A = this chain, B = another copy of it.
């Protein structure tokens, strides 16, 4: 791995953020399995280096758009556990007052314009966010996260064309985890994903999404160039999801093998890899790391307990926020 930040703090924060995502997801999964979470959710576990490598290269005012598999992006962009778990449980103190849930979690205070339950649905939003920056003369960059499956949505080509024509400061980040739902990527994507971006004149990179430093280094470069008006850019990040498509997708041998899962989890885990590197480089000791892990675990568990005890929104909220200027739309 390449050293991209010389600052110990930065490395440790990257580790911490990856670990926080993993911990968040372990708890979310548990909530589902114990039937405490309403609906379904999609776990980000395994893909942590992507969200963290990218978001650690961004400022608070930089924007991201996220996906149905969005907890990782949300944490990486700076969100708190409490408001996140509250949202997942539909509680009033959630980021969206319980109205959005897992698939619509947003945290605009940190520049997260929100998860999206329409595959590819946020590609226009991300491009528009970059348009705003250009029009208003801000130097904010927007990163658009989406899966390999989302490359099948025509919207992507429409907005890439405009972003390229107008040099918008947007980075399209394709999280290629090898599957869309229960289907392998090669069965639904003809040709080459990066070539598709290149055909629009967009510089595209394929990169190991399990290597947080590599991801971070590339992103830093591209973000800096995008700020100068050299965008847009495209990144295809090769990664893997550890869980099923959603928490309920338990028996998945019919579409992917246990061996494949084992291989990724044991030999390509982004956290394990980065942890050994930190220790090797003398940036942190095993003990320090264990302490960090324990602290994160505690944080997460406390946040879960908090969220479980937190109140639901009052029923009178049901017709609030339909319009900005009407307190109760149905009153």
Residues of A near any B CB (own CB < 8 A): 152-158, 160-161, 164-165, 187-192, 195-196, 198-202
Contacts and interface: CB of A to CB of B under 8 A. Distances in A.
A196 B200 CA distance: 7
A193 B57 CA distance: 33
A186 to B, nearest CB: 9
A191 to B, nearest CB: 4
Question: Chain copies in the assembly?
Answer: 2
3 tightest Cβ-Cβ pairs between the two chains A and B: A154-B154, A164-B190, A191-B201
Main secondary structure of the interface of A (DSSP, over half): helix
B152 A161 contact: yes
Contacts of A192: 199, 201
Nearest to A196: B199
A221 to B, nearest CB: 22
Nearest to A165: B190
A257 B50 CA distance: 50
Nearest to A161: B190
A188 B165 contact: yes
A198 B195 contact: yes
A195 B202 CA distance: 12
Contact of A157 (B154, B188, B201): B154
